[in-house]
Chains A and B, each alone.
Chain A
Amino acid sequence: MATIKRTVEVELSTTGLDPQGRPMRTPLVTATDGSQVAVQAPPALEPELEGEHMLINLGPQHPATHGVLRLVLELDGETVVRCIPHIGYLHCGFEKIGEYRQYNQIIPWTDREDYLNSMGNNVAFALGAERLFGIDITERCTVLRVISMELSRIMSHVVWLGTFCIDIGAFTPFLWLFQERENIYDLLERWVGARLTTSATRVGGMAADIPTGWTDALETFLARFPRTLNEVDRVLTKNGIWVGRTVGLGAMSADEALNYGLSGPMLRASGVAYDVRKDFPYLDYETYEFDVPVGSSGDVYDRFLVRFEEMRQSVRILQQAVRRLPDGPINVDDHRVILPPKSKATSEMESMIHHFKQVMEGPRPPVGECYVPVESPKGEKGYYMVSDGTPKPVRWRIRPPSYVNLSAISKMVEGHLLSDVIAINASIDIVMGEIDR
């Protein structure tokens, strides 16, 4: 597993560890005598107000809270002393609804929880359901699913980076990145007909095969997208304002990050090289060549670098996947879960019975339970499904990565400035649809 090389040499000083054992890193400035010194916090302007705490309410309608997150902050001057998060404004009861739906009917709900990664969620759900049914999918379907997962990873990271830029005050990269997101949406639209809520998979296969010429369009995108990334890289990575606003914020050590259950880029930025694709592989990810970027200080800047590198690695995976895409069927030949073709259903008795049973009753998995985690852009995501042998699951549990990542926000923001709360919150990459479900 490779560690990313920093493409940038930012002058930083590690002035030591703070009382919580987190590294304090501050940008260096050139002093009047030419030496490099760490930036010092300014002295309090109004010493007589010291000790007076103020309560402010950030959100739920604040644009920088990425949805409807509400943070109650206790401030000492501009420093956050305590942070009490409140969530649940978007709670829709997905897990409850899932208990009243057949397996294929749940797939549209998976679009709507982490709506930036809808195709990845579809694949994650299908993988879990197929384990529950005991189905192994076809070769072509495996590769198509890898393509859809990595495309949605890029899509999610692009939106994350764009909105992160806006939060910190950089507007230009937002436009460039959203242009690329639009290009991915066009690809998805050509494939499954929908842009945001794709519902692309079915238990045992995909809803649709890719249309003719689609891989050419994907390759055109893959050739162009790294150029956009390089442009954004040039604008942001060495930018003094960007570095000053992100370095040293919200740092989590490796042990803390593990103990808080962080996953995905948040965990890897803290130096833990845990990637589900490498450690508990699915969809033959072990046969693709890609590196897992790992940070060294677990601060906001490292999370930015890790996610940025992940987009490049996703492009690598996509290029390999397009090259190896085999011909063949996309659906398994299993009459329990896959509807027979219309021509057969209207002409053959056997197929008609299967069609009728599937539509009227729904496929029945055997009694059992499974949890198949995947590496979603936010972290380890999995659907824990319990079946009692009926067509509807007894329990359908979403393991939401950004929910667990957000639970560490109090730990991360306390001791930082109010304006840094926005940057730290943005670096978690939360999607409230997934958190509240």
Chain B
Amino acid sequence: MSTPFTPVSPGSALPGPPSVPATLRNVPHRGGDVNPSAEALRQKFGSAVQRVDVVWGETTVVVDRARVQDIVRWLHDDASQQYDYLSDVTAVEFRDLEQPIEVVWHLRSLPFRRFLRLKALLEKGTPLEVPSVFPIYKGADWLERECYDMFGIRFAGHPDLRRILMWEQYKEGFPLRKDFPLRGRFSRAEQLRQALAANPEARYSMEELSIADAFEDLPQDMRTRIRSGEKTGE
């Protein structure tokens, strides 16, 4: 039987004989070994790299939000970096509402066994928008959609940026923002009233209903309602 795929082994780009990484112990709070990619980024992108921190052994590079896609693309493509794996895309909003919202990318280079945290700061009062890394990592699709759903951060260049965990007609805002109350904005009674008033059929999007002529099979009144853009729960 032929093997159509070449097995990929992590750590293959490291110099010397195959090494066994060890469990980290006594990790210092600040300082320690800096990921060499941080220095390489500084040399390559200059002032677009705003700050490099090492916290609990992990290197964080704060970059200019406009250059995120260039930087990630370089990290992914360059033979001396090879960040081939996107672990996570998320955001952090602080309790101090003056502090900027941080968008966080967790990147992993399997050939070099490196981990890098990229951050872009979104100052309050500026539009919450960063470039999407979807053209580089397909895995960013749902991660960016979730980040948009929870924080309202728009990822420019994402092909299908819509809500994913909350329903598409959800109108209360962005749940993980600090100004969003834990119990939600609407009272339980209001939430119940909205749920009962919803049209279950209209949960199909127009795109879905256009498939397979299903739209033509719908009753006349429902077609009219959907054509006029009516949504559930409104």
Give the interface of A toward B (CB within 8 A): 1, 3, 12, 14, 17, 23, 52-55, 72, 74-75, 82, 84, 87-88, 91, 93, 95-97, 100, 131-132, 134, 136, 253-254, 256, 258-262, 270-274, 278-286, 294, 296-298, 366, 368-371, 373, 380, 382, 384, 386, 388, 390, 394-395, 397, 399, 403-404, 406-408, 411, 436-437
Contacts and interface: CB of A to CB of B under 8 A. Distances in A.
B175 A14 contact: no
Given A55-B212, A82-B211, A100-B182, A296 B3 contact: yes
B64 interface: no
A96 B175 contact: yes
Contacts of A285: 23
Contacts of B29: 134, 366, 368
A167 B29 CA distance: 48
Contacts of A278: 10, 21
A300 B178 CA distance: 42
Main SS of chain B's interface residues? Answer: loop
A207 to B, nearest CB: 23
Interface in B110-166: 110, 113, 115, 117, 137-143, 146, 150, 163-166
Contacts of A82: 211
Interface string B66-92: 000000000000000000111110101
B23 A131 contact: no
26 contacts: A23-B4, A53-B213, A55-B209, A55-B211, A74-B211, A87-B164, A96-B176, A97-B182, A258-B110, A261-B85, A261-B87, A271-B8, A272-B10, A272-B110, A274-B110, A278-B21, A279-B11, A281-B22, A371-B87, A371-B88, A384-B106, A388-B94, A394-B93, A395-B93, A399-B88, A403-B146
Q: Which of A95, A284, A366, A369: most chain B Cβ within 10 A?
A: A369
Interface in B176-234: 176, 180, 182, 204, 207-209, 211-214
B1 A12 contact: yes
B177 to A, nearest CB: 10
B138 A259 contact: yes
Contact of A271 (B7, B25, B138): B7
A369 B55 contact: yes
Given A281-B21, A368-B55, A395-B93, A298 B138 contact: no
A380 B29 CA distance: 24
B101 to A, nearest CB: 11
A261 B57 CA distance: 23
A297 B5 CA distance: 7
Contacts of A282: 23-24
A394 B211 contact: no
A220 B56 CA distance: 41
B43 interface: no
Interface of B: 1-11, 20-27, 29, 55-58, 60, 84-88, 90, 92-96, 104, 106, 110, 113, 115, 117, 137-143, 146, 150, 163-167, 175-176, 180, 182, 204, 207-209, 211-214
Contacts of A258: 8, 84-85, 110
B23 A281 contact: yes
Contact of B90 (A55, A270, A397): A397
B88 A397 contact: yes
Contacts of A1: 9
A394 B207 CA distance: 38
A75 to B, nearest CB: 8
Nearest to B94: A394
Contacts of A274: 8, 10, 85, 110
Contact of A284 (B23, B27, B138, B139): B23
Contact of A369 (B2, B56, B93): B56
Contacts of B55: 368-370
A408 B211 CA distance: 21
B102 to A, nearest CB: 9
